[in-house]
Amino acid sequence: MLELAIYDIAGSRVRNLMQEKASAGRFSLIWDGCDEDGAMLPQGVYFVRLRTPEGEQTTLGFKFIQRVNMKVWL
């Protein structure tokens, strides 16, 4: 199961971008800057966390300044 989620600075998950069974390969996702309810998130620092079937986790931090489409390749 691949899981890709956005977290705020307090560590709360604000958006789950992907949670599905997938085989190895390339994936492309676009995050629109909104939370799970479709509300635009405020400017600030956010983190992207990727979990893989092997239990590996990757966390990347970024500063969200304005609404832009963000592509993430897995």
Q: Is the model's pTM score more than 0.85?
A: no
Judged against a pLDDT cut of 90, whether residue 15 lies above it is answered with yes
**8 A C-beta contact, residue 63 and residue 48:** no
Identify the pLDDT of residue 37: 97
CA distance linking residue 7 with residue 10, whole number of Å: 8
30-52 pLDDT, tens per residue? Answer: 788 899 999 999 888 888 888 88
Identify the pLDDT of residue 31: 85
How is the chain split into domains, by residue range?
2-73
